[in-house]
Structure 1
Amino acid sequence: MSQFLLRRGSPDEEFPDLSRNHTWMGRILTAAMYRRQFHRCTHSGVLFDDVIRPGLEEPGDWCSPASVGCVAGDAESYILFCDFFDRVIEAHHGHKITSQTPESDFNCNNLKGGEDLDRSYAVRCEVSVVRGVEGFCFPTHCSRGERRELLTLARRALQRLEEEDLPGRLHLLEDLNQDQQRELDFDPPSDSQLRIGVARDWPDARGVWSVGFCSGCTKYLC
């Protein structure tokens, strides 16, 4: 884990140079905040330096929209480093964080909008939903073993869908050639995904669940 491998100085010696950093992380992080977070570590080994590293490696540009500049390695990161993450989330989304939790609604019949798309300009509409799995680190921090275990869990869950009302097929990326990946409209990982660790060991333990293996098919990335 990170806390066993890094040989670090004091918080003042390790505080990063943010003078030319244009991310939300760089705008919000102060030396006092860094000192408070410096010795903290989540149970899975996420240090505060792991959280802010993306913004240090990609500091942004003053004439471009500010990127977030930080990542959470696991769910505990949002709790342990909350005084930092809360400020970044408020700045990025433009509203104050409250104790109220939005009411969940997973009924697809309640979705609104999209019926008035002008097909002269819009060929298709894609919706992306990303969720973490309790007990596992996020992709920015998880190990190969965790990722493979998650793929096994996803395979079991998708098999149940296939037995019920959503027939489809799980395609492992390592088994697909380039033509098949193009047919599934699947893009390789971006430079940003590679830098923050989301695409480590690509394409090991990655898959796509598709409903119909053809152009324009419905797909779900594992």
Structure 2
Amino acid sequence: MGGCASKDKAKTETPGVNGSNTPAPATNEDDVKSEETMVDAAVLEKLEAGFAKLAASDSKSLLKKFLTKEVFDNLKTKKTPTFGSTLLDVIQSGLENHDSGVGIYAPDAEAYTVFADLFDPIIEDYHGGFKKTDKHPPKDWGDVDTLGNLDPAGEYIISTRVRCGRSMQGYPFNPCLTEAQYKEMEDKVSSTLSGLEGELKGQFYPLTGMTKEVQQKLIDDHFLFKEGDRFLQ
């Protein structure tokens, strides 16, 4: 992965919070919605060609289902204000892989608002009617201090795992991350995790320099994703 599809040319840095080069996010929804700047002609050309091929295909993806000509024309000139992500960054995977089930990826957090005309109906369809006005129900973990052994005889539970994924503020999402940004994020995360002690202390595995044996063990233990997901290329 080499960054946004629409960022082939040199990028300029946007001054951010406290004078840093980390862009500051839009302050409110109106700022995001009103953002509409010139999209590069080469990007528009790729979008038009990709949309024509998708429309003529027998793709069953949610992208094709909801990317009507009206929606396409409304979104093709829009960009997210902080990272400048375009519609091409959102739908490139679905344009290149007509057998996708969904066909879109959010390149940054603002994309959900800027390209809401596409994201909202796809999310609603994928999640069986979860509309943009719906809310996640309140959390109720019960009394975690009195949680007993769920399988005292060891007859049913083989293993348990709690896994979470988070994005880092000040960076775009995976489709638009550059190699330099990945390295910068790795340095920040590894430095922070190395300071943990006690039951929180663990081992950090950098992806670069990892032996095949360690890589396979982490895959077998479900800590590491397999390579070769063409939908993310």
- In the superposition, the TM-score normalised over structure 1's length comes to 0.69
Q: Percent of counterpart pairs with the same letter?
A: 25
State the match for 2:116 in structure 1: 82
What one-letter code is carried by the residue in structure 2 that aligns with 1:49? L
Q: Which residue of 2 aligns with 1:8?
A: 44
Q: Is the 8 A contact 1:11 1:35 kept in 2?
A: no
Maintained 8 Å contact 1:23/1:69: yes
Offset of 1:187 from its aligned partner? Answer: 4.9
Aligned to 2:102: 68
Q: CA deviation at 1:108?
A: 10
What are the superposed Cα offsets for residues 93-138 of structure 1, whole Å, 9 maximum, x if unpaired? 012221646556899938x999369966763344432221111111
Question: Structure 1 155/139 Cα, relative in aligned 2: closer, same or farther at 3 Å?
Answer: same
User: Aligned in 2, Cα 1:133/1:10: closer, same or farther, shift over 3 Å?
Assistant: closer
Between the aligned partners of 1:58 and 1:113, the Cα distance in structure 2 is: 47
Aligned equivalent of 1:57: 96
Q: CA RMSD in A?
A: 3.5
Q: Which of the residues 36, 41, 48 maps onto 2:74?
A: 36
Q: Tell me the residue number matched to 2:131.
A: 96
| Count of aligned pairs | 189
Larger strand fraction of residues: 1
Number of the residue aligned with 1:115: 150
Check if 1:135 corresponds to 2:173: no
Distance 2:225 2:200 in 1: 26
Matches within 5 A, 1:15-30: 15-16=51-52, 17-18=54-55, 19-30=57-68
Give the structure 1 partner of residue 27 of structure 2.
Answer: none
Match of 1:196 in 2: 232
User: What does the per-residue CA deviation read over 1:122-173, in whole Å, with 9 as the maximum and x for residues that have no partner?
Assistant: 633444322211111111111112111111221132123x235412121222
Please name the residue that 1:153 is paired with: 188
| Cα pair distance change 1:123/1:99, threshold 3 Å | closer
In the alignment, which residue of structure 2 is the partner of 1:169? 203
Unaligned 5+ segments in structure 1 are: 61-65, 198-222
Tell me: higher relative CO, structure 1 or 2? Use CA pairs within 8 A at least 6 residues apart: 2
Structure 1 partner of 2:215: 181
Q: Give the structure-2-normalised TM-score.
A: 0.66
CA offsets 1:19-46 (integer angstroms, 9 cap, x no match): 4111111111100000010101123232
Unaligned runs of 5+ in 2: 1-6, 9-38
Deviation, structure 1 residue 178: 1.1
Which residue pairs with 2:18 in the alignment?
Answer: none
